[in-house]
Amino acid sequence: MPRKSTRLTFAVLATGAGVFSMLQSLIAPALPTVQHALHTSQSTATWVMTAYLLSASVFTPILGRVGDLVGKKRTLVSVLLVVLAGCLLAALAPTIGVLIVARVVQGVGGALFPLSFGIIRDEFEASRVSGSISNLSAVIAAGGGIGIVAAGPIVSALDYRWLFWIPVGVVAVTALIALRYVPESPNRAQGNVSWLGAGLLSAWLVALLLPLSQASVWGWGSIRVVGLFAAAVVLFTAWLLSEARSRTPLIDLRVMRLPAVWTTNAAALLFGAGMYALWSFLPGFVQTPSSAGYGFGASVTTSGLLMLPMLVAMFFSGILSGRLEPVVGAKSLLATGAALGAVALGLLAAWHDEQWQIALVSGVFGLGIGLAFASMANLIVGSVPASQTGAATGMNANIRTIGGSIGAAVTSVLVTGHLQPSGLPYASGYTHGFALLAALCLAAALAALLVPTARAGRPGPTARAASVPAEAEVEAEAEPRTVTSGSAS
């Protein structure tokens, strides 16, 4: 039977994952303030975001796998304590260098996503797994929106350091409650951490994401950018060979090849490109002075409020997704969510002359984010062995982040490629960028249609995972299965 206190367990998981998601976006609107307060350059200040991105990308799948092996609750509490230390260090940081190190430490919290999904699968009744994952996904999606909306008022009323002081208190309480009340999941994978695989995974992720995030500063044709991309290809190939030959791979490539997994990951890559790029460039668009021929000269606070409909819509559509998934299926919800994103971005490319239009479009896009986030998580959790949940969901989150980096990099080229004499982008740069992001979301919807459809008469994907022949074969090859009382599958 599942453990008791699942409501408290969910509250702990939602709080931890929500805070980490908020930390992803909370600092972005405050970067100019940080730059001025710490007496640094704009290019150096951007490392506050880059360091966090790289750290989260590295630690999300690695610690997700560690949780599968040594215990998800133990790993969850450890990660929360590391995030607490990172927030405390950031709040006290006297220099930009210390703040960047603090952001690297905070990035460890990316593992909260796969660990939380794994704990839900292990501890909750099978009938509640899909809905709980949808609800948690809604919180994760909303957390990013809260960061964008809340940053302006917090900085204006207090100081940018309170962007970290507030999470210090929340994470400290969450860690204590998790230590006391979250049960240790009984499902464990067999074997050890493949440190060679972890090292190669970290290396190719950094080699890929670093030039994507810094290309606008270094130049796309610079030796550093070209060299790092080449290194990423070589390291990725070496990682694939290492994982294929390892008896205990960090990421089981047989699981990644499952039809439901690779198609969902393809959709995640494309949708992530559209979503994260919009989050990065829409605030800049509305903050542009109207003298540029577009924009509204909005403040940080006002630009955040224009994205408030997105926050509200993504939260409620994520919650609704859990109710709809048993009826229409996660595949349909993923395709619908990506299609809504494409519609919203297409409208934005042609329809952005009034602030209410921005608010309406952001709300439509929020509906798409909520549906897509929840359905991606459910499709992955329902398609992999219980002992691979952390690693598989960690890689899905990573692939979404990689897509976001690619989308932001390409959009940056379109937006900043040709500037007005005043130094501001032309309106056409934004409209072309938004149109490209619409095409990427449409491609994500088409990729979602490739996800295998559940066989008639079966419940949601999480309830049937153990009985799908291909998945059972993967698990049987990977490790002996032990049936435990806490298994949700």
- Tens-place pLDDT, residues 260-277: 999 999 999 999 999 888
- Specify the pTM: 0.82
Note the pLDDT of residue 313: 92
Region 25-44: mean pLDDT is 84
Q: Are 272 and 373 in contact (CB under 8 A)?
A: no
Q: Give 235's pLDDT tier (boundaries 50, 70, 90).
A: very high
Per-residue b/e over 25-45, b at no fewer than 16 CB within 10 Å?
Answer: bbbbbbbebbbeebebeeeeb
DSSP H helices in 107-194: 112-123, 126-157, 162-181
List Cα–Cα distances, 164 to 79, 139, 237, 267, 392, in angstroms. 17, 19, 38, 33, 30
The residue ranking higher by pLDDT, 481 or 359, is: 359
Q: For residue 294, give the nearest of 280, 279, 282 by alpha carbon.
A: 282
pLDDT average, residue stretch 126-134 = 87
Q: Higher pLDDT residue, 304 or 288?
A: 288
Q: Which domains does the chain have, with CATH numbers?
A: 6-193+248-478 (1.20.1250.20), 194-247 (no CATH)
Residue 421 DSSP label: T
**Rounded mean pLDDT of 61-85?**
92
- CA 147 – CA 156 distance, rounded (Å): 14
Using the predicted structure, report yes or no on whether residue 308 has a pLDDT greater than 80. Answer: yes
Using DSSP, state whether 419 is helix, strand or coil.
strand
Percent of the chain with pLDDT over 90: 41
Q: Are the C-beta atoms of 395 and 343 separated by less than 8 Å?
A: no
The encoded tokens of residue 174 equal 């969450």
The pLDDT assigned to 155 comes to 86
The pLDDT of residue 282 is 87
Instruction: Compute the distance between CA of residue 131 and CA of residue 323 in angstroms, rounded to an integer.
Output: 7
> Any bridge partners for residue 425, and if so which?
419
User: What's the CA gap between 188 and 196, in Å, rounded?
Assistant: 21
Specify the amino acid at residue 464: R
pLDDT band at 376 (very low <50, low <70, confident <90, very high): very high
Per-residue burial over 113-133, b if 16 or more Cβ lie within 10 Å, else e, is bbbbbbbbbbbbebebbbbbb
Closest to 192 measured CA to CA, from 397, 479, 472: 479
Give the pLDDT confidence score for residue 5 in this predicted structure.
67
